[in-house]
């Protein structure tokens, strides 16, 4: 149960830290001369949540924090199928708990407006009004790249001890690319957690942010299995 608890805690931190930076600190429209952290700050926040938790719980659960990562590691031969349901359940619950804490904090401001609550979307609910096709391609490509980074940096041939840095910076870069398109998911647990509180379109479009990341993770794992296989 310790590894499931670690995944719960890690995903809680991912949603609270990453989505919290978007909801609470991305911009300050009501402050005279204040400047929010913007897309760069949000991207760094997501990367830092994964990096810090990778050091904190990586030796306990592997620090997946993401159903798509768990599926990708399974396809890549790094994770047993028997643990998949427990990991995914723990990640989704941890994300919801993180979103609930964020909601309690955010609603403590008298003029707080829910808005999208850092949820993911396409068409008019995309930050840049990108189409569903653009969202699908983005989420598949970004998640595939993320799995490649994870599998490569944790390979026994890779430099030791630097995987959390590579993975955290990789997630930062992914957010810098894709925040304007989908508000960046690459993680069904993160998408589900905030969609529950945002409601409406965030719920109706949630299917894409389960299907596309899992497809992308599978593609990334297959690619790494091909290019990373050791010569015999």
Low-confidence ranges of the chain (pLDDT < 50): none
Number of H helices, E strands in the chain: 10, 0
Between CA 133 and CA 112 the distance in angstroms is 32
For domain 2-227, give the fold: Glycerol uptake facilitator protein (1.20.1080)
Between CA 196 and CA 84 the distance in angstroms is 23
Q: What is the pTM of this model?
A: 0.93
**Taking the mean position of all CA atoms in its chain, how far away is CA 87?**
15
Decide if 39 contacts 74 (C-beta within 8 A).
no
**Dihedral of alpha carbons 144, 150, 153, 155, sign:** negative
Helix (H, G, I), strand (E, B) or coil at 112: coil
At 113 the pLDDT is 86
At 89 the pLDDT is 98
At 69 the pLDDT is 98
At 35 the pLDDT is 65
At 115 the pLDDT is 87
């Amino acid at each position: 149960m310790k590894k499931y608890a670690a995944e719960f805690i890690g995903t809680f931190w991912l949603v609270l830290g990453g989505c919290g930076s978007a909801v609470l600190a991305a911009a300050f429209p009501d402050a005279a001369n204040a400047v929010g952290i913007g897309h760069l700050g949000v991207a760094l926040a997501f990367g830092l949540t994964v990096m810090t938790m990778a050091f904190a719980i990586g030796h306990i659960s592997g620090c997946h924090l993401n159903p798509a990562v768990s599926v990708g590691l399974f396809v890549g031969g790094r994770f047993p199928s028997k643990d998949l349901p427990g990991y995914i359940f723990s990640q989704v619950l941890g994300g919801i708990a993180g979103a609930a804490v964020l909601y309690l904090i955010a609603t403590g401001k008298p003029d707080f407006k829910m808005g999208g609550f850092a949820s993911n979307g396409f068409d008019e609910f995309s930050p840049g009004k990108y189409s569903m096709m653009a969202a699908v391609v983005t989420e598949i490509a970004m998640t595939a790249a993320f799995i490649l980074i994870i599998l490569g940096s944790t390979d026994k041939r890779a430099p030791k001890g630097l995987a959390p840095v590579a993975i955290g910076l990789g997630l930062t870069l992914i957010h810098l690319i894709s925040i304007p398109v989908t508000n960046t998911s690459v993680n069904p647990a993160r998408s589900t957690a905030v969609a529950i509180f945002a409601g409406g379109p965030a719920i109706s479009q949630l299917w894409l942010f389960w299907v596309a990341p899992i497809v992308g993770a599978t593609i990334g794992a297959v690619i790494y299995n091909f290019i990373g296989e050791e010569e015999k």
